Amino acid sequence: MVFQDGKLVCRKCGYEKSVEEEKEEVVVEKRSREEVPVIEGENLKTLPTTNVVCPACGNREAYWWLRQLRAADESEVRFFRCTKCGKTWREYD
């Protein structure tokens, strides 16, 4: 959140909250199990690829990346995005 004109404004969704003075505030966003982190545009071309079967189209190549979604003492989650159809899915351990 950023402080603008006497209120805090969320950079992602635009939610505004009036405050009397500038102060630091932490907002925790809860994620549903179905949400997948978004990787867009030109960034895809720089990601590594691997041989894995896409569950949507059967293509055998996908970009992959790791993301820490839980506490630091838990393992990272591997995400894949099909190079053909763009379907994104995660690998469960």
Domains of the chain as residue ranges with CATH: 1-30 (no CATH), 32-93 (2.20.25.10)
- For 5-9, 29-33, 86-90, which range has the lowest pLDDT when averaged over its residues? 29-33
Is 74 known to be catalytic?
A: yes
Structure tokens at 88: 């994104």
Neighbours of 79 (CB within 10 A): 20
Average pLDDT, the chain: 75
Residue 68's contacts (CB-CB under 8 Å, 6 or more residues apart) are 76, 77
Question: What does 1-52 look like in DSSP terms, one character per residue?
Answer: -EEETTEEE-TTT--EEE-SS------PPP--TT------TTHHHHS-EE--
Is 73 known to be catalytic?
A: yes
Q: Which of 73, 76, 91, 93 is catalytic?
A: 73
Name the residue with higher pLDDT: 66 or 38: 66
Q: Which of 74, 76, 91, 93 is catalytic?
A: 74
